[in-house]
Amino acid sequence: MTRYILYRLAYSVIVVLGAVTVVFFLLYLTGDPVGQLLPLDATPADREALRSQLGFDQPFYIQYFRYISRLAHGDFGTSLRYRQDVMPLILQRVPATLKLTAASMLVALLIAIPAGIISALKRNTLIDSVTMFFALLGQCMPNFWLGLMLIVLFAVTWRILPPAGSGTWKHLVLPAITLGSYSAAILARLLRSSLLEVLNQDYIRTAQAKGLRNRTVLWIHAFRNASIPLVTIIGIQVGVLMGGAIVTEYVFAYPGLGRLVLEAISARDFPVVQASVLFIAVTISVVNLLVDISYVILDPRIRYD
């Protein structure tokens, strides 16, 4: 197990380095941001001086290896917009984004688990058809459109929840529903398929023949085995939620990491974008590692040798 974890950590380093490299290359293709950092009346000499100071006058490979070297020494750069270290800026926004991601996943699970179980137990009935219809609808709706509709309905028309900002749990409700609806649809459909497969196994019929209650058969025998693919998709959806939070945080003016990234892209603040992608890549890699370890807990037959 320890050897496997070390292997996955090494693999995660390669994945994170690949993500950082791709983002660095894409930002390099957009050109240097010197034009947005200086006033319109700046002279060409001023532009060249700033370009040289920031290192944008160097070839791509030199800029890249300098950036990797700084990362290796724990230097994530200085924001071109805020004129301060990047990491404190990101760490200020991370708690808000993690809180929104956790709330969104909670909403997704509260919807997906009952919907998937009911749909599997009521297979090929009207309840099954209606549940899967809404699951498909949840996958089809864009997050930004759903967010705007929720604002119009709950904030403008009914005045039940705040339309934007942060501070109380009420500010999390609409963004969490917006983000969690897509994941809930995927998880519900997956859980239904997994349960249908598990419920047809011989050991389930054996448990029923022994006289065990249906609730015991469902939760002890069926759901635990059907949850392995569910846990896999949950790990993937964490990355989807953190990525989808960029648009959702902007729609709800939520002060999280996603909104910071979007503002940094608009201002071409390269260090902030690069450090944010690095943080998200590391977070997703850690979550995927935890998902792999959870397989052993869910199914004792699984061993990492």
pLDDT tens column, 284-293: 888 888 887 7
Kindly state whether residue 215 falls inside one of the protein's structural domains. Answer: yes
Query: Tokens 């989808």 sit at which residue?
Result: 244
Kindly state whether residue 162 falls inside one of the protein's structural domains. Answer: yes
Counted domains in the chain: 1
Task: For the chain, give the percent of residues with pLDDT over 70.
Answer: 95
pLDDT tens, position by position, 16-25? 888 889 988 8
Instruction: For the full predicted model, state whether its pTM sits above 0.85.
Output: no
Tally the C-alpha atoms within 13 A of residue 162's C-alpha that lie toward its C-beta.
12
CATH assignment of the domain containing 111 = 1.10.3720.10
Domain that holds residue 184: 86-298
Kindly state whether residue 57 falls inside one of the protein's structural domains. Answer: no
Kindly state whether residue 45 falls inside one of the protein's structural domains. Answer: no
Kindly state whether residue 287 falls inside one of the protein's structural domains. Answer: yes
Kindly state whether residue 55 falls inside one of the protein's structural domains. Answer: no
Q: How many CB atoms lie within 10 A of CB 14?
A: 10
pLDDT of residue 244: 62
Kindly state whether residue 240 falls inside one of the protein's structural domains. Answer: yes
pLDDT of residue 152: 92
pLDDT at 147 over 80: yes
pLDDT tens, position by position, 74-116? 888 888 888 888 888 888 888 888 888 889 989 999 999 999 8
Kindly state whether residue 20 falls inside one of the protein's structural domains. Answer: no
pLDDT tens, position by position, 223-240? 877 887 888 888 888 877
The DSSP letter of residue 44 is H
Alpha helices in the chain (DSSP H): 2-29, 34-37, 44-54, 60-72, 86-121, 126-140, 143-150, 170-199, 202-209, 214-216, 223-251, 257-267, 270-298
Task: For the chain, give the percent of residues with pLDDT over 90.
Answer: 7
Task: Report the length, in residues, of the chain.
Answer: 305
36/145 Cα distance (integer angstroms): 31
